Structure 1
């Protein structure tokens, strides 16, 4: 790389220096007026919690897909349908082990009457008088309850009324299970709280092992918890005005807790090093100011990168996915604000007593442990091609299963058998066939001249029944205003099967157009299963757009921050490898079933349609977090030494310990959510946890240093014309108040390259 173009020089930028000055003053002000800052955060937290409790909204997997068959059909039903096909439907499944349900006529009538009296109920079907609602052996029946809105949004106490209505059936020995959204309401809610507690407990252990004192370990945790509670409360207020998916609060908690601890951890680590600096000692408030002016700036860049990646989800054009990104991005932003203000205040209170109540010698103090990373940096520098090849091969092997990824919707059949909606799903599948859990609603929009003709009724019914993959078709019924024909199609395969998706497309593109050709009408396939499959198709079509937008945005941000074409390009490519490895693990565990039972998933399931998109945005953003912290130290040393090998070694040795500690905490937080009751959350938890492990080990400790060693001085090349066009956002700031400790570290030069 000796012939590489000379690196662009970095003149002092007044605007950058002024920005660093503001950050320095912010940190010092918070450290000198800590009680004002603590009081403000306490008021903000209490106000947010109170407002959320009083006016907060609920979360619901409700989304629209404008321009699609499923959305058009649903809109027609809302506008012209009868009361029997409006609202949100949920199943109550009845099963008797002996005899027939007809023997329970009185108890069934009482239950139906009681359900009709419940608030928010539009209609209730009686299985004993509804055609097809009782199985052939008479042992299983389905009660369809239609609600004014999705019952999954209701308070859990609503179930008390439902339980009271069916109590007579249970007293007579009839098994009663709740399916659909009513079953979602009945799911246990404690698992996510347990996940949060496990994540926090693991963080305490890691921080105590790393810092060695209760005070230093407690500050990142306190900052993260305060920021998380504030962010989740604000999200609850936003949920009152906007629709957020059920996964939004859990996803926001995972992100907010993970990055909140990380950001505060980086600031505390830098502050302690400045306090122990023998060459340039600083008083505690000044040390806090310097930490915020340097590592705090890296926190801003890292948080901005994550937020930009999550905001890129709106490029999908699907509001449901975009709002999930906003939910996670909200807690990331608040975590960064808390780290930049609350952490300095806590450090100001501690003063030089930051290591008070020590339980062990911190691993980041001078000694043999610190030298370990120096030796590792030198080892990578001696054989960069070997480490680059091995690291790339490992990521490639992990990514192999991703090539067979099959997207779909994870239905209730994947839930633990202890859930009532899973038991309802199994009872329906056993008694009526697997397709009954994934029925399609067919809506034919016709003119008045044809809606009443029996010939058209028969033509539509026969065409639907003859379509391959159809198990049963109901006789079409006309809507109250005689504008629609409505029928129900039962596939002969379950909702997760590829054949069910193929059937939906066949009905939309072939069966309905041919059956309605002479009438001049149009047919639409709608219903819950059709909406889920259509949502998957939309996501698959727009995933490349998301990838392009997120990668381009992150590339431009890194290019602006680090003033290097190759550094930004390398970061994007390595992050794509990291994401591919995470995809591969998710496919192997959930789709192939390799160890899925260990995570509470007893059978192979498709990858939830929006999981790859969410994982891409989150993993890409989090990967950039560690990239920013590592590269900011390398660049800091480069600006002082102009020796690429020495700069890479110093940057790696100066950040490896804290990045490893931060990654261990974030991995623990993510993996703890494998205990969630939601299979989609399990997928995200495993994928994100694996990605952080891979990123903090193979990528940050092997691939990044090896590629930077090989590129040499070309790492820092930027055309002068491009340098003039780009704004200046230095991650550590050229005007920091202290000479960088990384550049002064006593690290042996790992090659003969000289400044």
Structure 2
């Protein structure tokens, strides 16, 4: 670690040039090849997939969209139908149902391929034609998979706002423009490379569009933080009178090592999403992990090189070792019980809304204003009722008598259209619920239809697919939680050679997860996207471990030098408290900037991660963790004797003195 960082410091121009060449080359390659994002969710064994395959085999192939128009002029409807027929890949445009007041009409548009195969360009052209019908008393929208591809395209403009806010915090913290530029430039270059890599990976993996915003969100947050922790330790070395390279080597032997373990822990948490077994989530995990790994690597290579080129202008002012953090640390360690009780009470209150957690895909009425899907949802509800935006397709190989009998049964709880018969033979009933697609009553209706229909009846459509998606994730949640928590505990146990420290860290992170989920449910209401809790838990668990690693590493350093546990905790808090809270504020400002984008799930992730890092850095790491560690005392450092490489202070691994390691690495 010291050798790599020192080498990059000494060969700064070459390292910076390599990173800039990599950024330019990756961006050129990504722009040249384009992206192939796929938002479809593959559920091979789900009932909705069986229904789709059954309909496809009976000849009902190709994407089907509904264009909803509100107009009293039938000529305008005919004009719109003609424009739709002229679009590439359109097979047919047929008149659909008309509302009772004859003001809202539906056009059924069939394409010659599925939405995923048609691609974003066809979706954009289709949406443009629909939007072109607006005006002069006419309002038009579209509903379907192709239309959904245009609802909230990725946009990273808010990331710049987050970086500006982060830069202001850095300026106020360090009072040096160089200290602002170094972390921001490091994070920007590494995230730019990561987004280009994600675009290239979309050609070989199932990567949803939302992955770009999630990768940027995590990459910018941890990128600035990782550089900040290395910068802080470097500045401390300069204040102690070390030369620049020696100060950097000290940072490499301590903070850079913590950065590596923190980055690995974040990636381990993200890769826990693979246990759910959905390619959709795998793509999000890979995209986020690529961003974290590149930002971690940039903190170890690009940041030291940039420090060599720009560090001469850095102002390093003496920092008072006492002050508020010393008083706060002594207060927490002297009265741990009240602080722990207060922290747990706050977490419990914030967690209360989690009791209302319900997974499902929110209706299109929550899509961005002006999107064709939102307009269609509003028009469908106005003309045909709340359930018209989520019809359920009931398909099966049934005789006519069985179909009519089933239809009569379904009419007792929903509106059912006349049966359709396809080659095969396959019978199809279109069921329109009397409640909105995201209403719990619609989910109950879906389960009831599957019960009364029997094994020969399969349910398709958006509502059925979303219900199967939620069920698939919910069924794998225990395995996902166990894998993320278990692997993270093992990693921390290996890093700190302790049993209780990783176990208490896992409990603390579970408390943070509960409080974060509660806040998201309270702010956005139910339902939440099925994959959001998975991503939030993986992300916040990994990010929480970042602060755990940085804090405990400093506490353990002090303990190894001979301090008792209470004294080591005070020294660790004083050394890292200011930096951790500044880092959390920076990360929160980056995350909260994503709370104002069009995509609802990104807003939820932005708010959730903002709450998570602030809650974790201030309440958990600065209050609850120190209070619990004081109570545990020397038991914090217990580790099975047979797993310890050498005896050293109750089982901790001996490490070289920082200054000795610095001199050795520098001499080499």
The normalised TM-score by structure 2 is 0.93
SS of aligned partner of 1:177: strand
Ranges of 4+ aligned residues in structure 1 off by more than 6 Å:
730-733
**What does residue 474 of structure 1 align with?**
418
Whether 1:251 aligns to 2:214 is yes
Map 1:556-571 onto structure 2 (within 5 A). 556-571=490-505
In the alignment, what sits opposite 1:81? Answer: 58
Matched, 1:146 2:92: no
Structure 1 CA distance, aligned partners of 2:227 and 2:507?
28
Q: For the aligned residues, what is the CA RMSD?
A: 2.5
Q: Does 1:422 align with 2:374?
A: yes
Q: Which string of whole-angstrom CA distances, capped at 9 and with x for unpartnered residues, describes residues 437-494 of structure 1?
A: 1111112035xxx4xxx4344234333334x3x1223313223xx2322221111111
- CA separation in 2, counterparts of 1:64 and 1:158? 20
Which of 429, 443, 463 is matched with 2:395 structurally? 443
- Aligned counterparts of 2:602 and 2:529: Cα–Cα separation in 1: 10
**CA gap 1:161/1:566 in 2 versus in 1, 3 angstroms:** closer
1:279-290 residue pairs with structure 2 within 5 A? Answer: 281-282=242-243, 284-290=244-250
Query: What secondary structure does 2:457 align onto?
Result: strand
- 1:230-245 alignment runs, 5 A limit: 230-245=193-208
- 2:577 paired with 1:656: yes
Output the CA distance in 2 between the equivalents of 1:187 and 1:507. 30
Q: Secondary structure at the match of 2:561?
A: helix
Q: Match of 2:548?
A: 627
Residue 409 in structure 1 maps to residue 387 in structure 2: no
After superposition, give the CA deviation of every residue in 1:44-94 in whole Å (9 maximum; x if it has no partner): 10111011111132323211112221111112223x132xx3222322211
User: 1:679-734: per-residue Cα shift (whole Å, max 9, x none)?
Assistant: 111111111110111001010110111111111111101120233699xxx99992
Equivalent residues in 2 for 1:118-129, closer than 5 Å: 118-125=87-94, 127=95
Which of 62, 68, 75 is equivalent to 1:93?
A: 68
Whole-angstrom CA distance in 2 between matches of 1:628 and 1:54: 40
Instruction: Give the match's secondary structure for 1:112.
Output: helix
- Does the 8 Å CA contact 1:258/1:666 hold for their aligned counterparts? yes
* 2:468 match: secondary structure: helix
Q: Distance in 2 between matches of 1:685 and 1:258?
A: 11
Report if aligned partners of 1:290, 1:736 keep a CA contact under 8 Å in 2: no
Aligned equivalent of 1:579: 513
Measure, in 2, the Cα distance between the counterparts of 1:422 and 1:67: 31
Aligned partner of residue 122 in structure 1, secondary structure: strand
SS of residue matched to 1:93: strand
Partners of 2:178 and 2:311 within 8 A in 1: no
Gaps of 5+ in 2: 663-668
SS in structure 1 at match of 2:415: strand
| Residues in 1 aligned to 2:520 and 2:206: alpha-carbon distance in whole angstroms | 28
What's the CA shift for 1:538?
A: 1.6
CA distance in 1, matches of 2:652, 2:415: 62
Deviations 1:485-534 (A, max 9, x none): 222111111101111111111111x2211xxxxxxx71110111111111
Matches within 5 A, 1:458-497: 458-466=404-412, 468=413, 470-479=414-423, 482-497=424-439
Shift of 1:161: 6.4
- The equivalent residue for 2:238 is 275
Deviation at 1:305, TM superposition (A): 0.3
Give distance in 2, aligned partners of 1:193 and 1:317.
29
CA–CA separation in structure 1 for the residues paired with 2:127 and 2:610: 39
Contact 1:263 1:299 in 2 (8 A): yes
1:353 and 2:313 aligned: yes
Selected match of 1:265 from 228, 252, 261: 228
For the residue of structure 2 that corresponds to 1:138, the secondary structure is: coil
TM-score using structure 1 length: 0.83
2:183 matched residue in structure 1:
220
Secondary structure at 1:178 match in 2: strand
The equivalent of 2:336 in structure 1 is: 384
Q: Against the structure 1 CA distance between its residues 71 and 392, is the aligned structure 2 distance closer, same or farther, given a 3 Å change threshold?
A: same
Which one has a bigger Cα radius of gyration? 1
Question: Using a 3 Å threshold, how does the CA distance of structure 1 residues 347 and 526 change in structure 2: closer, same or farther?
Answer: same
1:627-663, Cα deviation, whole Å (9 max, x unpaired): 0000011111111114111111111110011111110
What are the within-5 Å matches in structure 2 for residues 94-109 of structure 1?
A: 94-96=69-71, 100=72, 103-105=73-75, 107-109=76-78
Structure 1 residue 165, shift from structure 2 partner: 7.6
Moved more, 110-119 or 536-545: 110-119
Distance 1:344 1:153 in 2: 46
Cα gap change, 1:478/1:27 in structure 2, threshold over 3 Å: closer, same or farther? Answer: same
Gaps of 5+ in 1: 1-22, 356-360, 514-520, 592-604, 742-755
Q: 2:460 aligns with which of 526, 532, 535?
A: 526
Give per-residue Cα distances to partners, 1:286-305, cap 9 Å, x unaligned: 32233122211100100000
Q: Distance in 1 between matches of 2:432 and 2:472?
A: 23
Partner residue, 1:303: 263
1:134 is aligned to 2:98: yes
Alpha-carbon distance between aligned partners in 2 of 1:196 and 1:634, rounded to the nearest angstrom: 34
Question: Are the equivalent residues in 2 in contact too, given 1:307–1:621 (CA < 8 A)?
Answer: yes
CA contact under 8 A between 1:561 and 1:731: conserved in structure 2?
Answer: no
| Residue number among 144, 164, 172 corresponding to 1:209 in the alignment | 172
Q: Which residue of 2 aligns with 1:40?
A: 18
1:219-242 deviation line (CA, Å, top 9, x unaligned): 000000000000010000011222
Q: 1:611 aligns with which of 509, 532, 535?
A: 532
Q: Is the 8 A contact 2:151 2:368 kept in 1?
A: no
CA distance in 2, matches of 1:690, 1:336: 23
| Corresponding residue pairs, total | 658
Matched residues in 1 for 2:153 and 2:449: separation?
38
Q: CA 1:405–1:188 in 2, change beyond 3 Å: closer, same or farther?
A: closer
- Pair 201,213 (structure 1): closer, same or farther in 2 beyond 3 Å: same
Secondary structure of 1:94's match? strand
CA distance 1:161–1:709, change in 2 (3 Å): closer
Structure 2 residue 313 is matched with structure 1 residue 371: no
Query: 2: distance between equivalents of 1:90 and 1:34?
Result: 56
Change (3 A) 1:628 1:236: same
Contact kept? 1:92, 1:142, Cα under 8 Å: yes
The aligned counterpart of 2:665 is none
